[in-house]
Amino acid sequence: MRTVGVEEELLLVDAERGEPQALSTAVLARADCRAGGDSAFESELHRQQLEFATTPQTSMHDLAEEILRCRAEAAEHAADSGAAVVALATSPLPVSPAIGRGERYQWLERRFGLTAQEQLTCGCHVHVGVASDDEGIGVLDRARPWLSVLLALSANSPFWQGRDSSYSSYRSRVWDRWPSAGPVEAFGTAERYHAHVRELLDTGVLRDKGMVYFDARLSHRYPTVEIRVADVCLDPADTALLASLVRGLVETAARQWRAGEPPARFGAGLLRMAAWQAGRWGLEDGLLHPRTMRPRPAPEVVDALLEHVREALDDHGDLDRVEGALRSLLARGTGARTQRELLRRTGSLRTTVHECVGITRG
């Protein structure tokens, strides 16, 4: 059974006012002290962020428990500095982002200016184990049309600098400003993939392989494929659902690759349209169907994803859990809908953030 690991980025906010606070250095120091230098937490581009990575898991129940534990630990470490953590992909309240002090982060700010400065966004990356780079590319080529559905399911960033952006995932629009971000063409072989990455690096625009920000890529650190399209999910149950669907998608694509089934011929331009549609509406309107790239109702497209990965989910023992989690998500809506409903009910973005702090803990 394939291993799955999750990386989540969280916002550090003032516990009372809800505004993002540049406290990652202090919070990480406390986390490292408590963990004896072996903490699951890391810094991110901005000092108002905190990232954690789970260990590789084969049991989705165990992964869900670890996500809850890491979020709870993050909250405890933040509380020591008078802050809170919240799983929002953008800050609802106005913020002046503070770039991290590390040399790499400073280089990014010098190189990319406002693009880097405005990247205070929080995503969720899912790693799934693969046997080889060849299998990994077989997976990436065949999973491409389905990634926009994962973005729609995770949409959790409707607000930007105190205003409603009109998007369900405005994070995805901000993230796409990086020159290497977004969907890519099918590669066919691992050799072509690695040659393309070398060509990108040889331009001098990117600093290193860590800046290859494809929607899905071969990890340069682990024997995994890394699916990077999702917003960080407000409800931790949705993170576990996302991870289950990603593993099912990877296993399904790997089986297609082994059987010699060719990938869909959709180019990156069409996939970019699908990603825009998913980021604009989440589950609130139509999505582009991964088999046709034509608009269909969101529930129909979600059902198509479930059917696409059903056999793999059943083989992993995840089918019943995923079906129930999808029903729940479709009924209550994404984090974007939750945030907007909280604002309508309370009339306050500060209260919205405060309420989301509690939801973050599950």
Query: pLDDT band at 362, cuts 50/70/90?
Result: confident
Alpha-carbon gap, residue 287 to 154, rounded angstroms: 14
Query: pLDDT band at 114, cuts 50/70/90?
Result: very high
pTM for the structure as a whole? 0.97
For the domain spanning 6-360, the CATH number is 3.30.590.20
* Whether residue 35 has pLDDT greater than 90: no
Alpha-carbon gap, residue 235 to 242, rounded angstroms: 11
Closest CA to 156 of 171, 175, 146, 174: 171
Higher pLDDT, 230 or 34: 230
Amino acid at 259: A
Q: State residue 102 phi and psi, 5-degree precision.
A: -60, 155
Query: Stretch 215-223: mean pLDDT, rounded?
Result: 96
> Encoding tokens for residue 323?
């079906």
List pLDDT tens digits, range 286-302: 999 999 999 999 999 99
Q: How confident is the model at residue 32, as a pLDDT?
A: 86
The answer for residues whose C-beta is within 8 angstroms of residue 10's C-beta and 6 or more apart is: 49, 50, 51, 52, 71, 74, 85, 86, 87, 122, 232, 360
The three-class DSSP label of residue 333 is coil
Of 34-38, 60-64, 102-106, 253-257, minimum mean pLDDT range: 34-38
Q: State residue 22 phi and psi, 5-degree precision.
A: -85, 75
Place of tokens 């990117």: 206
- Is residue 251 a contact partner of residue 227, using CB atoms and an 8 Å limit? no
Residue spans of the domains in the chain: they are: 6-360
Query: pLDDT band at 359, cuts 50/70/90?
Result: very high
Q: How confident is the model at residue 265, as a pLDDT?
A: 94
